[in-house]
Structure 1
Amino acid sequence: MLHTFKVEHFQDEECIFYLPSGFRIDEDTLPHTVILGTKRQSAKCKRHPNGRNVIGISTALAKSIHLPSKVDSLSLFCKDECVYAGVLIGIFTAGFTSFRLSPIGQRSQFFQKLLSVQSSLGVIPFVFGEKHIDWENGLVKGFFHFGEGWEIEEIPFPNVIYDRLPNRRSEKRKTYQNLKERLQREYGIPWYNPGFFNKLDLFERLENDQTVHNFLPETLSFQTLDDIERMLSDYHHIYLKPKNGSLGNGIHKITYSRSSEEYYCRFRDQDHKNRLLKFDSLERLSNTVFKNRNLDNFIVQQGISLLKENGRPIDFRVHTNKDEEGNWQVSAMAGKVAGSGSVTTHANNGGVVKVLTELFPDERERQIIEGGLIDAALLLSHAIEENLEGYIGEIGFDFGVDDNHHIWMFEANSKPGRSIFSHPELKRHDLLTRKLALSFGIFLTQQTVHHPEEMIQ
Structure 2
Amino acid sequence: MKRTKVKIQIQPAGTLIDDHTIMLSDALVKKWKIPTQSSLQLRFGSAKHEVKVVPLPQAGALRIHDSIAAKWGLAQGIPLCLHYKSSTRTIHIGPLISVMVSRVHAGAPERPFGNVTAFCREMDDACRLYGAAVFFVTPDEVSGSGDTVKGWHYAGRWIKRTFPLPHIIYNRLTSRRYENRANVQHFIRHAKSQQQTILFNEKYLNKTEVFDALRKESGLPIYLPDSHLLHNRQLLKMMCTKYSTVFLKPITGSLGKGIIRIKRQTDGSYMCHFTNLNGSRKQTFGNLQQLSNYLSPKIKKQRYQIQQGLTLISVSKRPVDFRALVQLNETGQWSVTSIVARTAGNNHFVSNLARGGSLSTVREALARSNSSATGGGALKLRRAALAIAKGIETQVPGHFAELGIDLAMDTQGKVWLLEVNSKPSKDDNTPLPGARTIRPSIKKVVQYSRFAAKF
Under a length normalisation based on structure 1, what TM-score does the superposition of the two structures give? 0.88
Counterparts of 2:451 and 2:158, CA distance in 1: 27
* Distance change (3 Å), C-alpha of 1:13 and 1:60: farther
Q: CA deviation at 1:443?
A: 1.9
Aligned length: 441
Counterpart of 1:13 in structure 2 is 17
Q: CA deviation at 1:315?
A: 0.3
Q: CA deviation at 1:64?
A: 6.9
Counterpart of 2:268 in structure 1 is 261
- Counterpart of 2:126, as a letter, is V
* Distance change (3 Å), C-alpha of 1:413 and 1:213: same
Counterpart of 1:352 in structure 2 is 358
Q: CA deviation at 1:95?
A: 2.3
Counterparts of 1:61 and 1:359, CA distance in 2: 57
Answer with 237-246 or 79-88: which moved more: 79-88
Secondary structure of the structure 2 residue equivalent to 1:427: coil
Counterpart of 1:230 in structure 2 is 238
1:401-455 CA-to-partner distances (Å, cap 9, x unmatched) read 11222111110000011234445337349711111122222122119xxxxxxxx
Answer with 398-407 or 39-48: which moved more: 39-48
Cα contact 1:381–1:395 (8 A) shared by 2: yes
Are 1:89 and 2:90 counterparts?
no
Are 1:58 and 2:90 counterparts?
no
* Distance change (3 Å), C-alpha of 1:361 and 1:302: closer
- In the TM superposition, 1:155-234 aligns within 5 A as 155-234=163-242
- Counterpart of 2:69, as a letter, is K
Aligned identity (percent) is 22
Answer with 409-418 or 231-240: which moved more: 231-240
Counterparts of 2:378 and 2:350, CA distance in 1: 21
Counterpart of 1:445 in structure 2 is 453
Q: CA deviation at 1:322?
A: 0.7
Answer with 128-137 or 349-358: which moved more: 128-137
Secondary structure of the structure 1 residue equivalent to 2:404: strand
Q: CA deviation at 1:38?
A: 0.9
Counterparts of 1:288 and 1:369, CA distance in 2: 40
Cα contact 1:10–1:56 (8 A) shared by 2: no
Counterpart of 2:247 in structure 1 is 239
Q: CA deviation at 1:47?
A: 4.6
Answer with 396-405 or 179-188: which moved more: 179-188
Counterparts of 1:412 and 1:212, CA distance in 2: 13
Q: Which runs of 5+ in 2 are unaligned?
A: none
Cα contact 1:400–1:408 (8 A) shared by 2: yes
- Counterpart of 1:312, as a letter, is R
Q: CA deviation at 1:108?
A: 3.0
Partner residue of 1:397 out of 389, 393, 405:
405
Cα contact 2:345–2:351 (8 A) shared by 1: yes
Q: CA deviation at 1:359?
A: 1.6
Secondary structure of the structure 2 residue equivalent to 1:25: helix
Counterpart of 1:321 in structure 2 is 327
- Counterpart of 1:326, as a letter, is G
Q: CA deviation at 1:120?
A: 0.7
Counterparts of 1:4 and 1:372, CA distance in 2: 39
Counterpart of 2:137 in structure 1 is 128
Q: Which runs of 5+ in 1 are unaligned?
A: 448-457
Secondary structure of the structure 1 residue equivalent to 2:204: coil
Are 1:141 and 2:150 counterparts?
yes
Counterpart of 2:304 in structure 1 is 298
Secondary structure of the structure 2 residue equivalent to 1:17: strand
Under a length normalisation based on structure 2, what TM-score does the superposition of the two structures give? 0.88
1:363-397 CA-to-partner distances (Å, cap 9, x unmatched) read x9777111111111111111101112222100001
Q: CA deviation at 1:299?
A: 1.1
- Counterpart of 2:33, as a letter, is E
* Distance change (3 Å), C-alpha of 1:379 and 1:430: farther
Secondary structure of the structure 1 residue equivalent to 2:441: helix
Secondary structure of the structure 2 residue equivalent to 1:169: helix
Secondary structure of the structure 1 residue equivalent to 2:252: coil
Answer with 259-268 or 425-434: which moved more: 425-434
1:100-158 CA-to-partner distances (Å, cap 9, x unmatched) read 33333443333233223111111101111344358776222220124x32111222111
Counterpart of 1:115 in structure 2 is 124
Are 1:339 and 2:345 counterparts?
yes
Q: CA deviation at 1:235?
A: 2.9
Counterparts of 2:232 and 2:447, CA distance in 1: 46
* Distance change (3 Å), C-alpha of 1:104 and 1:216: same
Counterpart of 1:386 in structure 2 is 394
Cα contact 1:41–1:64 (8 A) shared by 2: no
Q: CA deviation at 1:178?
A: 2.2
* Distance change (3 Å), C-alpha of 1:287 and 1:322: same
Are 1:375 and 2:376 counterparts?
no
Secondary structure of the structure 2 residue equivalent to 1:241: strand
Secondary structure of the structure 2 residue equivalent to 1:446: coil
- Counterpart of 1:42, as a letter, is E
1:5-30 CA-to-partner distances (Å, cap 9, x unmatched) read 43334454332131473688343657
Secondary structure of the structure 1 residue equivalent to 2:270: strand
Counterparts of 1:24 and 1:401, CA distance in 2: 57
- Counterpart of 1:433, as a letter, is S
Are 1:101 and 2:110 counterparts?
yes
Partner residue of 1:279 out of 266, 278, 285:
285
Counterparts of 1:290 and 1:226, CA distance in 2: 11
Answer with 342-351 or 237-246: which moved more: 342-351
- In the TM superposition, 1:27-38 aligns within 5 A as 27=33, 32-38=40-46
Answer with 35-44 or 390-399: which moved more: 35-44
Counterparts of 1:410 and 1:24, CA distance in 2: 55
Cα contact 1:235–1:304 (8 A) shared by 2: no
Counterparts of 1:253 and 1:295, CA distance in 2: 18
Are 1:411 and 2:415 counterparts?
no
Partner residue of 1:309 out of 315, 319, 326:
315
Counterparts of 2:300 and 2:144, CA distance in 1: 43
